[in-house]
Copies of this chain bind each other. A is one copy, B any other.
Amino acid sequence: MSESTLRTPYLLFLGDARDQLAAKTAAGVAYWRPSWCLGQIRLPNCNANLGLEDLSIEEATQRGAKTLVIGVANQGGFIPDNWVSTMVEALEKGLDIASGLHMRLSEIAQVSEVARLNDRQIVDVRHPNRSFGTGTGVKRQGKRLLTVGTDCSCGKMYTALAIEKELRARNVDATFRATGQTGIFIAGNGVSVDAVVADFISGATEWLSPSTDKNSWDLIEGQGSLFHPAYAGVSLGLLHGAQPDALVLCHEPTREHMRGLPNYPIPSIQECLQANLKSAHLTNSNARIVGISMNTSNLDSDASKQILERTSQAMEIPCVDPMIGGVGPIVDKLL
């Protein structure tokens, strides 16, 4: 399984990131896959720093780097001219390049040409490079967990990865399945499901998480929310294609409205759980909720503790902040 499999280890390109947040893709990769990240490469005026060793292309290749990962985003997702010479040098010295930006690497004539001449792979992970079938709804072997959310950007990738880590620590076979750009760098493969043609959302998800060993868990990264007016279609297709045995709901308790939409309130946890469970039952009648994952980083520690406990009691399922206490209680419930 892979759309394009990225070769590891990586050299993380931070470019001229305006601030630390602009390099959050690279930060995610460094956090979850430290052994794959040999170092960082920064241009003058870069205001981000991952605390990794600064390496030249030359040094990175000598240490065995295989792919330059574009770990920085700018407004609009384009690739500025001043990044190109580093990319060209990387290709000439034997690295592949992977980017999750909107603008394709392959659109840059020089990058495309140098890659071809040097027989290097350039991978635009946001843009699927293969076609998919439509969903079949046929049951696959193996177990699947999908993270869903009350909104976009509330911890679905982080939670899936934390559960993968916890399962592996307990010697359970577990594989993170990436559906977004950062996730694909972390997994080394995957599908940007929001970028496939609408007819194939479920089919692409079925392909992403194929039949596997019956005791093995796939941890599928969710996208969007059934309650987001722009993205609910993606979320529903992903939910149907994933056929999850288990759902974890991700939530950011201080958010006042749906991301980018001031007139749309965040749904209640109760309502969101019910809607996801009901929809999940179409393709897996045994789907159940195994926990709630809250990002409480905007609360002080008392308030955080309180809301986690209160929610867990009210919903009668584990409710954790994976960045504070880990996901142990959710994995207990899962197993």
Contacts and interface: CB of A to CB of B under 8 A. Distances in A.
Interface of A: 134-138, 193-199, 201-203, 226-227, 229-238, 240-241, 261, 263-264, 279, 282-283
A134 B231 contact: yes
Contacts of A226: 236
Given A196-B197, A229-B241, 16 more contacts: A135-B230, A135-B231, A136-B229, A136-B261, A137-B264, A138-B263, A193-B198, A197-B198, A198-B237, A199-B230, A199-B234, A201-B233, A202-B233, A227-B282, A229-B240, A233-B240
Contact of A233 (B227, B229, B237): B237
Q: How many subunits of this chain does the assembly comprise?
A: 2
A229 B201 contact: no
Among A135, A195, A241, max chain B CB count under 10 A is at A135
A234 B134 CA distance: 12
Contact of A195 (B195, B198, B282): B198
Given A196-B197, A197-B196, A202 B232 contact: yes
Contacts of A229: 135-137, 202, 240-241, 282-283
A138 B264 CA distance: 10
27 contacts: A135-B229, A135-B231, A136-B229, A136-B230, A194-B198, A195-B198, A195-B199, A196-B198, A197-B197, A198-B201, A198-B234, A199-B231, A199-B234, A202-B233, A203-B230, A226-B236, A227-B282, A229-B283, A230-B240, A232-B236, A232-B237, A232-B282, A233-B234, A233-B236, A233-B237, A233-B240, A234-B237
